[in-house]
Structures are given as C-alpha cells and as structure tokens.
C-alpha cells in the first residue's frame, strides 16, 4: 500500500501587530461616530437614512430599476419597492417606463430630490468644515491626505 503523503503545510496566520489592531479599532470607532453625527445633519428629518441613501445612489449612478437599486443598497427587492413607493409619494422620485422592458419601471430622482440633496450636502459640509476648523494644520493635512484613502475603502 502506498504511503500517504503528509498534508500540505498550512500557512499560519500571523496576528496583526498590536499597534495595527489598535489603529484599526480607532479607525472603525472614529468613522462610526462621525458617520452617526453626520447622519443627524439632515435637511429633511422625515426621510429615513435608507431613503436618503437611495436618493444618493440615484444622484451618483443615475436612474435605475428597483431591482438594481435593491442590489446597490443591499436590501431585498420587496423592501426597495416599499422605499420607492414612499419616495414617490413624497415627490422625490418618479417611475418611468423601462426603455427596453415594458414589464419594468425605471426610478428617477425629481428636481425636488436633487435640490434637497444639494442642501443636505451643503449642511453636512458646513458642519464638517466647522469641526475641521478645530484641528491644527498638521492634523488637517493628515486628514486631507487620508480623504482619498477613506473614499477608496468606502467603495471596496
């Protein structure tokens, strides 16, 4: 009987050095707290964070079917159907016939939604600029340099 070969060596996972673990933890904590505070800087308090996110996705990516929006927002299609209906009732989106598939609709943001998003961004930017004003020059330079990296992480 042939001798069984020994199993392939398993690459041992090396634990992150303690300073990396601490840095990751601080980064996570800081981003989460800042994100929560930014979410409170809204123009329209009647919209949920999910509804605002859907409007932001439409602003960035353009018109989309409810199914496409559900995938981009990581929600189930029935949930997106309800969200779209709420946004449509508020006059923030409109449903239009799909150009190629008559069974589907395309969700498009309205001018009212565009204006609200612009005002919301203005308010959030002003709030964040006020916070940044509390930093010293070195801290602000570090944060400016980190901004593209944070943007990249947000889209991975």
Residue 67: closest CA among 75, 77, 59, 58: 77
Largest CA distance in the chain: 78
2: confidence class by pLDDT, cuts 50, 70, 90: very low
Q: How is the chain split into domains, by residue range?
A: 45-154
Alpha helices in the chain (DSSP H): 18-39, 49-61, 66-73, 77-89, 111-132, 137-154
What CATH fold (topology level) applies to the domain 45-154? Arc Repressor Mutant, subunit A (1.10.10)
Q: What is the pLDDT of residues 10-36, one digit of tens each?
A: 555 655 565 788 889 999 999 999 988
For 101-119, write each residue's pLDDT tens digit. Answer: 888 899 999 999 999 999 9
Q: Is the dihedral of CA 133, 139, 145, 150 positive or negative?
A: negative
């Amino acid at each position: 009987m042939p001798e069984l070969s020994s199993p392939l060596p398993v690459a041992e996972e090396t634990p992150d050095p303690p300073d990396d673990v601490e840095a990751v933890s601080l980064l996570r904590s800081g981003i989460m707290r800042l994100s929560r505070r930014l979410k409170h800087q809204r123009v329209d308090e009647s919209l949920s964070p999910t509804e605002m996110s859907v409007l932001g996705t439409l602003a960035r990516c353009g018109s989309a079917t409810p199914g496409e929006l559900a995938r981009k927002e990581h929600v189930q299609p029935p949930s997106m159907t309800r969200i779209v209906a709420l946004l449509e009732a508020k006059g923030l989106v409109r449903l239009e016939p799909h150009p190629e598939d008559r069974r589907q609709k395309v969700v498009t943001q309205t001018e009212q939604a565009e204006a609200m998003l612009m005002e919301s961004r203005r308010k959030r930017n002003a709030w964040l600029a006020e916070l940044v004003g509390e930093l010293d020059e070195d801290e602000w330079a570090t944060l400016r340099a980190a901004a593209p990296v944070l943007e990249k992480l947000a889209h991975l």
